[in-house]
Amino acid sequence: MSDNENRSNKNLKNNKPNRPDDNFDWSKVIRLVFGWGAVIVAAVIVMQVFRTNTETFTEIPYGEYEVLLQNPENISSASILKSDINDYTFKAELKKETDVKIKGKSVSVKAISVYIPEPMIHDQEAVWKEKGIQYSFDKESNEWMNILIGFLPWVLIIAVWVVIMRRMQGQGGGSKGIFSFGKSKAKLITPSSKRVTFKDVAGTDEAKMELQEIIEFLKEPSKFQKLGGKIPRGVLLLGPPGTGKTLLARAVAGESGVPFFSISGADFVEMFVGVGASRVRDLFEQGKKNAPCIIFIDEIDAVGRHRGAGLGGGHDEREQTLNALLVEMDGFEQNSGVIIIAATNRPDVLDPALLRPGRFDRQVVVDRPDVKGREGILKVHTRNIPLDVNVDVEVLAKGTPGLAGADLANLVNEAALLAARKNKKKVEMIDFEEAKDKVMMGMERKSLIISEKEKKTTAYHEIGHVLVARMIPEADPVHKVTIIPRGRALGVTSYLPIDEKHTYSKEYLEAMITYALGGRAAEKLVFNHYTTGAGNDIEKATNIARKMVCEWGMSDKLGPLAYGAKEEEIFLGREIQKHRDYSEQTAIEIDNEIREIINSAFDRAVKILNENMGLLHKLSEELLEREILDAEEIDTIIRGESLPPMQKEEKTPEEAVPDHVKKLMEQRQQQDSDPKNESH
């Protein structure tokens, strides 16, 4: 074992994770209060023992007391003590030692004490006067109790003061105390916590390789130092949300045998000026003490945004924090053994000084997984799920293009929930298909009341998409079409690309615009009117056409030029307006080109549907009857074959339609069938 490894293991043993301030240790306060209380009680007892009055009175029976009263000359003096509970004790000193019987034994005593009940005290007082005994009434001294009661408020005041001071100090240097707002909020992850390893991460092989090299460097630095290699200062993980950047960092924490500090970029900046810079310095001080170690900063764009864009100037809190981070990562003093791993999905807003080598030597792109990556991710998430024999993970991976790791994890979870809802013992393929439709198309809203006229319009609209896409070779194949409302749509047509696409051709984009307008074309041909259902389709088609003309240079008339410079606000992280850097004449030409692309695509869609009007009616009728058509059923109808009869499921009482809903549906059907409404 190397020296570095020994040192890291030692650090892991000696450095315990910071206890959150919310879990206040009341046992310490209780031990403190009881400790001081015991000291006070012991002091009182000692005082009682060493009191001046050390005379010991022997308690004797009442009968022996009456014998001594017969000869009053035996008693020199007496005192009657009254306690707090109205009991009386007769204490007397004898002139000489006298033998008395106590429990059958003869005992020689010089001082005696006798308990006298309150009803007898008046009679005994008369006897004492008659015998000529000198006596006095006194109250029993409770000095120790009085001292204890006097000390009790002070003990409580000290305890409250200790509690308040510890809360203000964040329990000895915690992260939430009033006097510790400049301390780092980083959490130290130890090997004893629940670990995530590289076995739990799939679909990011290149990123795993880069990070695995860093772990090997920490475990065995001599292997790299022999060839003059230096440990990387930082690794920046880039990628869209849900691709597994934070999961990779957790896997590094699980794989590495060194201390791992985790902190969010938002934890640096608070309401006090200079707190962020102070926390950065404290974080790196902790890192130096535990070197070699790894510091993970999640969502670093919260503090690493481009400087100079805000209105705060040099006193901007984010800029101060970023300056401190830049200096600590690669400043005058070198940080040896401290590696920074940061994650962000907005690398475009980061400051250039943060991205240069020396600070972040490696920038690892964690992109959406391909088919093999999605298959690996699905296998990871289905390890602890009982699967049926008909579940094919490869088919699921091919049918989920564009989904990130988080989306696939959600898909597997939804499938398990659907299977549990149906009281199944294993998750079947149909559960995964339903979950995929739910994730990709939205949740079914079967309770939504739709009139027959609306349903018919929706069916023809969706089949217009399907038929146009089916007849264009460049278009994506149709996976499924439904007129069951999903999400915010009354009908949904789902497409499944065969291959992973990273660049798009002009023909493919024109095909997308064409089948997007297929629903509008079907409404025009069949009903000769337009509905609002094509609003989203038109918006998508227009956006694609505008980008083709203004951004991608796909217009022969305007040429390969970019029109409209984007002006971005750094701290918002998005474009707030487009600067018009072209003339009015060019703007007219841009509008004409966009209109030409849209109109030609619409005419193409109308032509395709005119040529296949019989298929349009047949597919729409089948969709109205079945409500869902998959790719195989669509191909069967196009080939001219008939579909097998549909097996209608019997509805359970819970699924039955309520009476008031039935009445409303009947009223709407009557309205739709009214000749006045149709003519109107």
Taking the CA atoms of 541, 545, 550 and 554 in sequence, report the sign of the dihedral they define: positive
Helix (H) or strand (E) segment spanning residue 363 = strand 362-365
75 and 94 in contact (C-beta within 8 Å)?
Answer: yes
Tokens of 109: 């005593």
CB 456 within 8 A of CB 409: no
**From CA 92, how far away is CA 124, in angstroms rounded?**
14
What distance separates the 2 farthest-apart alpha carbons in the chain?
Answer: 143
Buried b (16+ CB within 10 A) or exposed e, 207-230: bbebbeebbebbbebeeeeeeeee
Of the residues 317, 328, 462, 523, only one is catalytic, namely: 462
Q: Give CA–CA dist 236/220, Å, rounded.
A: 22
Residue whose pair of structure tokens reads 């924490």 in the numeric block: 253
- Rounded to whole angstroms, the Cα distance separating 137 from 155 reads 35
The rounded distance, in Å, linking the Cα atoms of 381 and 626 is 33
d(CA 349, CA 304): 8
Q: Report the DSSP pairing between strands 362-365 and 234-238.
A: parallel
- In three-state secondary structure terms, 104 is coil
Instruction: Say if strands 187-189 and 260-264 run parallel, antiparallel, or are unpaired.
Output: antiparallel
For residues 537 and 290, give the distance between their C-alpha atoms in angstroms, rounded to a whole number.
Answer: 57
Helix (H, G, I), strand (E, B) or coil at 644: coil
Reading the block at residue 191, the tokens are 């090997």
Helix and strand tally (H, E) in the chain? 25, 16
Residues 601 and 30: their CA atoms lie apart, in Å, by 80
462 is catalytic: yes
Active site residues: 462
